[in-house]
A and B are shown apart, each in its own frame.
Chain A
Amino acid sequence: MNVENTKAQMRKGILEYCILSVISGNSCYASDIINRLKEARVIVVEGTLYPLLTRQKNAGLLSYRWEESQQGPPRKYYELTDQGREYLADLDKSWDELVESIKLIRKK
């Protein structure tokens, strides 16, 4: 057992939830998401984000539209779909439950 490994696993577990939460605020593009996640210190390297975004999009939780940018390539702006919103609500609930559970256990 290695504490770094466990921490990484925990972070990985909530990363999808974090991404959906960030996008739920208002539509944003990859760099915005990355900055928010970096701020919150749940992401270490940016590369891991893209496979997750693509997977969530393919699962119907996200959609995106293209927007031109003044400098550089056009950007993908992500939004939650209705299904994504439902999914997020479900996760919100289970997160609250988890926090409660941990609280209970730590209080003993």
Chain B
Amino acid sequence: MVLILLVLVAIVLGFLLALTYWGALVVLRPVLAVFNKKRETVESIEPIVFRAPEPEKAATALGVAIADAFADSAGSPYLTDRMAFELTNTLQQSQIPVTIITGVPVVPAASIAILASLVANMTDLTSSVSRSSGRLANQVDTAISAAQITELKAQRAEGAAA
């Protein structure tokens, strides 16, 4: 009898604690959402900056790749493994030797520039990144903003239509 009482008390207390925890989460969710939204906004407007021996070619290839990656993200501000994989493929098809670290489950989309900075052959394409710190690299040849990415996408669409 005592043991059964003990088990019942444990179940009741367990549910009470779980409900309290869930209630606290429900109350805090709007507060946490505000912070998350603020972080996404800050990260998504970061510019992507890099330099290369052939800036135009590299800019076009990287810009189109990034545009594709964002298009595949379905509005999500985060870069998935699949997007990183497609970015690697696109850059390799452009005959730009790159190595992109994959296996990162989720990274902010703005840090796609960091992936670009992880270039294996630094003689062909040297990248530098301005991200959360907001600092620009000393030697900047080309900068791609969100507007330019949109423009590149439009140009690519026109090319495909032609």
Partners in one complex: no
